[in-house]
Amino acid sequence: MNIATPDPNPRGAPTLTRRQFLQQTGALALCTGLGRFFAASVSRAAESHATPSSTASPPTFPFKPAYLALHEQGILRLRADTLWDSLAHCQLCPRQCGVNRLLGKQGFCRAPGADLIVSSALPHFGEERPLVGKGGSGTIFFSHCNLRCVFCQNWEISHLGRGTRRSISELADLMLSLQTRGCHNINLVTPTHYLPHILKALDLGVSRGLQLPIVYNTCGWEKIDLLKQLEGIVDIYLPDFKYGDGETAAKYSAGARSYPEITKAALLEMNRQVGIAQPHADGLIRRGLIIRHLIMPNLINDSIAIVEWIAAQLPLDTYLNLMSQYHPAYKAFDYPELSRRLTLKEYEKVVARARELGLRNLDLDRRWLTL
Ligand code: SF4
């Protein structure tokens, strides 16, 4: 997952950037150099939420998450149990370690066997505006990560695994507490390696009254067979599309050369399942695909390849958040090309190409735009 941009929060609700959010929970150590990206309030919004050109159905209201029916049919529990059993030879993600997590073994992600570590759970006001509304996005940060990018801005959580051990029942209660606090969705950040725990907690949460849409907030590097297990459970897919080039992915994300190929297939599957992200009359999105792309310094050609692929392979009104807030963090200073922020020229070049291609549901950082 990427870091979302601070939200302008025009309705006057308490504003909380993701970094502030993490600091409040003790999840993130103080660090310097946030600079201009986080110093000013942000003015950004999707350029349009036009009528979709895909097969997605228009939103209906009142909204009922699809997983309620799967719970009633017992399918949610069945899928949770199947995934739990698969921890005996874990292949949840493309690393495919095959370790027996039920016996306490750790794979590449460093998740501690079958234990669950949660960094924090709070209403978050720094996500995309249609996810935040008045009550915030009910964000649950999971510790550890299978991608492990050198520039990760949440490295204490993703690389070091900072967080608290939680039971399945406690995770269900965290979801319910976010619902009680008025959040509009349950936003699962970096969920893949804990998916069996999450589905078990979701099944339990539904029996206790949970009924919020589920946001699957992922690095995008997801196996198709796993995504098929999520059909009818996830309402909003919120994947990154980080790299268009395998060598770049391998260099900055611990050898993940397969990232572009696997992520492209994952995005097509996500779009098939949930379609275009369209807001309801209240401005909230409760179903659909929202893609994030963090534009990186000196990697503009990669960004352009990504927007070209999206324009060619997905509907032109696919919701695409072009993020500008990269700043060097963690080990980024070991890579001279990543040791600076983005320039205005770089950002505008990618935005111009996206517009030229006809992408018309762009979420842009308008502080940057002179076009
Ligand atoms: S989830 Fe973790 S243990 Fe399982 S395959 Fe991925 S990296 Fe390996």
For residues 291 and 319, is the Cβ–Cβ distance under 8 A? yes
For residues 3 and 238, is the Cβ–Cβ distance under 8 A? no
Using CA atoms, how far residue 198 sits from 80, 124, 207, in Å, is 8, 19, 14
- Tell whether the model's pLDDT for residue 77 goes beyond 70: yes
CATH code that applies to domain 61-365: 3.20.20.70
- Tell whether the model's pLDDT for residue 60 goes beyond 90: no
pLDDT, position 367: 76
Question: Residue 147: CB within 6 Å of ligand 1?
Answer: no
Question: Residue 93: CB within 6 Å of ligand 1?
Answer: yes
Ligand 1 atom having least distance to the Cα of 106:
3
pTM, two decimals, is 0.87
CA-closest residue to ligand 1 atom 2: 109
- Interval 169-198: pLDDT, tens: 999 999 999 999 999 999 999 999 999 999
Q: Are strands 116-124 and 137-142 parallel, antiparallel or unpaired?
A: antiparallel
**Distance from Cα 161 to the centre of ligand 1, integer Å:** 14
pLDDT, position 66: 86
CA-closest residue to ligand 1 atom 6: 93
Kindly state the tokens that stand for 78. 């069945």
Question: Residue 87: CB within 6 Å of ligand 1?
Answer: no
Least confident of 54-58, 128-132, 313-317: 54-58
Ligand 1 atom having least distance to the Cα of 90:
4
**Distance from Cα 135 to the centre of ligand 1, integer Å:** 34
- The separation between the first and the last C-alpha atoms of the chain, rounded to the nearest angstrom, is 28
Q: Tell me the domain boundaries of the chain.
A: 61-365
